[in-house]
Amino acid sequence: MIQRILIAFALIVLPVPALAQGVVTSADPRASDAGLEILRKGGSATDAAMAMMLALTVVEPQSSGIGGGGFLLHHDAKTGLIDTIDGRETAPAAATPTRFLGTDGKPLPFIQAWPGGYSVGVPGNVALMKAAHAKWGALPWAALFDPAIKLAEGGFDVTPRLFNALTGLQKIWADFPDAQKLYWRDGAPAPVGTRIRNPALAAVLKDIATRGPDAFYTGANAEAISATVGNAPKNPVPLTVADLAAYRAKERAPVCGPYRSYTICGMGPPSSGATTVLQILGMVERFDMQALGKDNPRAWHVIAEAMQLAYADRETYLADRDFVAVPVAGLIDPAYLKARSRLISADKTLGTYAAGTPPGAQPRTAALSSEVAGTTHFIAVDRSGDIATMTSTVESGFGSQLIANGYVLNNELTDFTFAPEKDGAPVANRVEAGKRPLSSMAPTIVYDAVGKPVFTVGAAGGKTIIMQVAKALIARLDWGLSAQDAIGLGLVYFNRDGIILEQGTILEPMKGAMEALGHKVNVAKLGLKANAAALEGGRWVGAADPRSPGESRTE
């Protein structure tokens, strides 16, 4: 199915004229400046995106960096083809299905599993960067490191967002002196405006720039990662130099599906992003969302119902496809989605949201994973019309709280389901050596009826990522909102107690109407952060979430 879609694109895609300018957008203006600098030097969209990934390692250490991993989508304007690269972290050889079980055989509380060595996966971003640059890079490899090295050596100022992240971790960091050395001053989180310099990170970036990925995955840096995890102040475990040397980023087939007259493409497993987004859209499609409009509680009711049905399938069937048979085609099968959509009433809630049985699915038991809010997204479009859209993460705020050579090591392994079995059956997303944990990251590209890319979006915020992207797509494609307004629009989400309407948005006043439809409703703030770009009037326009300090830049 995916190959047929891509072949169709190749056959009908129209020649794309050179654009008047390129555009970049990220969650931090200093990273966007890095991307713009690379575009102005003649860099490709991939070059600019990778420079932003490196810059975010320096200025947004709480969210992403070379100590983490990510997923990249790339659109080639000449061929019309879309490619994806999986740079998701892997579990080290010492990781077993019982890693997150206590001595009583029960799953550890997240707060015990998260900080320290247990949660660290083998980082993938540097390998992803190498694979992407080899295919689509225009500038020399070393040139992409220049903006990040300047930021690390010259320093950057603490933002309110970074300060809030530091303040929230103050008690935990009592056990993490290496993190304190970088980001604390006088025994407390560095105040807003404090200049942070990171010479250790600058040195390792210079080494990778000179010697390539081997400087990260072998030698002194690999030994530093191994020692940091193996001697962690909490939960020390082996992560060996052999684990690092064995890491490979993987090119994977994108997952694409229809929504109205558009084709939506995104990441396949181990990301659950594309499948779950496409499920939500597929169930919503029979409703006239344009007529309902963004101010109608019934529109959000339909979205909320589709959301909960799609997430039920996600928790049951999604995992690393290299280890588990994932029924991707069945999950987005139009007939299956129509049957799931028939469960949705426009007038009342379903109330119970169980997984379905998509075509090709093996019997499974559902089990919740522990993904939490974090992450970052960034986009680059160059003058040729190539698009690089990437979601990158160290998982929780400051990942595992461990620092190696000036960068944060991820806590990605807590994205695995802690309990390896449920009801006597193995859980799809259980920990296994070499396996990549399930992710909600959902970098997405939208194509119009003739195969032309017209919108790209991605988000940060744990499991809310899927809903942020699905909501932005509905807002853009059904309600005609600008890219900026689409990502800035309020969000509906859910937990075990019912649905959540984002506080301070147009959804908050809908609480009573949603309750009248049968929903249990809470109003709360949600840690959201998205970036997007849209083709408008023949030119790409970038957008950054108003909830974040992010900005877009035009070449």
Inter-CA distances, 100 with 97, 240, 290, 546, Å: 8, 19, 46, 37
Read off the DSSP letter of residue 434.
T
Q: Is the dihedral of CA 44, 50, 54, 60 positive or negative?
A: positive
Residues in a beta bridge with 393: 69
Instruction: Confirm if 539 and 20 have CB atoms less than 8 A apart.
Output: yes
Establish whether 415 is an annotated binding residue.
yes
User: Angle of helix 464-477 relative to helix 297-317, nearest 10 degrees?
Assistant: 140
Q: Is the dihedral of CA 256, 257, 262, 267 positive or negative?
A: negative
* Largest pairwise CA distance in the chain: 63
Instruction: Confirm if 442 and 271 have CB atoms less than 8 A apart.
Output: yes
Identify which of 415, 416, 373, 417 has the alpha carbon closest to the alpha carbon of residue 396.
373
One-letter amino acid at 247 equals: Y
Instruction: Confirm if 33 and 146 have CB atoms less than 8 A apart.
Output: no
Establish whether 47 is an annotated binding residue.
no
CA 57 to chain centroid, in Å, comes to 15
Helices of type H across 86-185: 110-113, 125-136, 146-154, 160-168, 177-183
Q: Residues with Cβ < 8 Å from 61, sequence gap 6 or more?
A: 162, 183, 394, 398, 407, 408
User: Which residues are designated catalytic?
Assistant: 375
Identify which of 394, 438, 393, 389 has the alpha carbon closest to the alpha carbon of residue 418.
438
Inter-CA distances, 319 with 62, 326, 415, 532, Å: 25, 7, 10, 27
Establish whether 88 is an annotated binding residue.
yes
Instruction: Confirm if 273 and 442 have CB atoms less than 8 A apart.
Output: yes
Unique residue bearing structure tokens 């007038």: 347
Helices of type H across 214-351: 214-217, 219-230, 241-245, 273-284, 289-292, 297-317, 328-331, 334-341
Sequence ranges of the binding site for L-glutamate: 88, 415, 439-440, 462
